[in-house]
Structure 1
């Protein structure tokens, strides 16, 4: 860990030890996660990367524009410093507007705070004009430590911006079975499926679940990903449901239950939710939110 990381962490631990968590922060942190909105401050997590972010714009395509936030003394000319009363954290916050980026919802882990007041359009200029005591960072040459810290934030944003989990789905499942002389009756027997559902899988009209892919992989000596990658593409509505922050805690529980990564757990959930369509009486207009709720209700240990 670099000296910047070490000292920053030590200061954060020392500050946390002597601070009472503001009531507003406690309410936000313990509330059920919802879709992100401008003016909220979130903790973003992807693999080993953790970063605080201010949401500036929430898109309708499962993405959001966000600015990295920190409690550090390091700044540059594009950093807007907010005084303690400006957020429910009740601590001064630095917003690195020069690093604003578009990020997928799937990296948003937990809302931790929000602005106490916000302009109708959230930009660096409107925030600087409306928040009493806001000021811009120094426009002088960065110190070596400040430059290193900015580089760390840049790396974090690159990791978060490139995060993805949903497979494209080649749709080649049927051809894979045909190429290796795997018949629908064999699928029915090995996967313990009723014949109509086995036929739908064999035709590539129905995806294999993670458990089914693992069964076939053990039988044939292939990696399970070979089957999952050949699945039909996931419906966008399924991907959207599992991108939503409110699903993050459910995905984490599923990952812990199966001792696997969050990405593997999302895939497990996605294909499991998709296969519920075969048992849904309303297949023409499926309620994906209800189906997702039902999947986690069935799969998660209570």
Structure 2
């Protein structure tokens, strides 16, 4: 992990280590993470990037988030400077509102605190908020504040670009049929079981990147072009497996299977889709129940 991208979190850890941590903060850090809510402060992690963010709005698979710094010496004219009383961390905070971005749920790792100041989605304090002030413009491009801001901006860009769910336009079944690939071909080439081969041919499940690479030569396309033919995923199943509580389970699964977090999440996705494909489809698929069933079996405990 490079020093710049993790500086905010390391500063937070150092500050918390010197505090008598309020019981509420301690409990939030120790508990299984819940779903994000506006006003919460989270640690966001993806690959080797770590940042502290405050959530200002939530939708089905993403959050609106603003980077948070304990280093209040650096700011620009859009930075909201909050007193120690504004959060359960009991430390002054700098909220870089001009760097707010839409981040996917999957980057959320652990809630660390909560604001007592109410903010709009863009970080503007609501009329009832008090005790805050805004920072000053950055004086020159070479100023330390400019460098600090640039690092935060790069980190937020990386977090915003994070994704794990296979994306596609939905013509995989047509592509396989066009090249004469049937169940037996897929079973042999991909080393998969018959139910999964049938699900691929029926556009009920996506190819993994590894499977796309194996099929690329026979399909005459680059692996990324093969992946782009995957069936689109239901937004709710992506949300379910992107929830912070699922990340805890996925990390356990990765440890048990000796694989990466991304591979474990895709493994959970494919298994959840397979369970769904074997059900008589209700009007609204019960993705949480099917994900729970998968983790119950593979982790030997209840899902959430």
TM-score under structure 2 length normalisation = 0.78
- Cα offset for 1:256? 2.5
Larger Rg over CA atoms:
1
Is the CA contact (8 Å cut-off) linking 1:51 and 1:68 kept in structure 2?
Answer: yes
Is the CA contact (8 Å cut-off) linking 2:89 and 2:113 kept in structure 1?
Answer: yes
**Cα shift readout 1:168-204 (whole Å, capped 9, x = no counterpart):** 23545545655665543566796454xxx47733633
Structure 2 residue 96 is matched with structure 1 residue 102: no
Give ranges in structure 1 of 5+ residues lacking alignment: none
2:242 alignment counterpart: 243
TM-score under structure 1 length normalisation = 0.79
1:286 alignment counterpart: 285
- Cα offset for 1:12? 5.4
- Gap change, CA 1:129 and 1:236, over 3 Å in 2: closer
1:48-127 map, 5 Å:
48-58=48-58, 60-72=59-71, 73-118=73-118, 121=120, 124-126=123-125
Aligned residues: 292
2:133 alignment counterpart: 135
1:1-302 map, 5 Å:
14-58=14-58, 60-72=59-71, 73-118=73-118, 121=120, 124-126=123-125, 130-132=129-131, 134-139=132-137, 141=139, 144-169=143-168, 171-174=170-173, 178=177, 182-184=181-183, 191-193=192-194, 197=195, 200-201=198-199, 203-207=201-205, 213=211, 231-300=230-299
- Cα offset for 1:90? 1.0
Is the CA contact (8 Å cut-off) linking 2:46 and 2:107 kept in structure 1?
Answer: yes
- Gap change, CA 1:9 and 1:250, over 3 Å in 2: closer
**SS class of match (1:19):** coil
**Cα shift readout 1:15-43 (whole Å, capped 9, x = no counterpart):** 44433322121122223322221111111
- Gap change, CA 1:27 and 1:186, over 3 Å in 2: same
Pairwise CA RMSD: 3.7
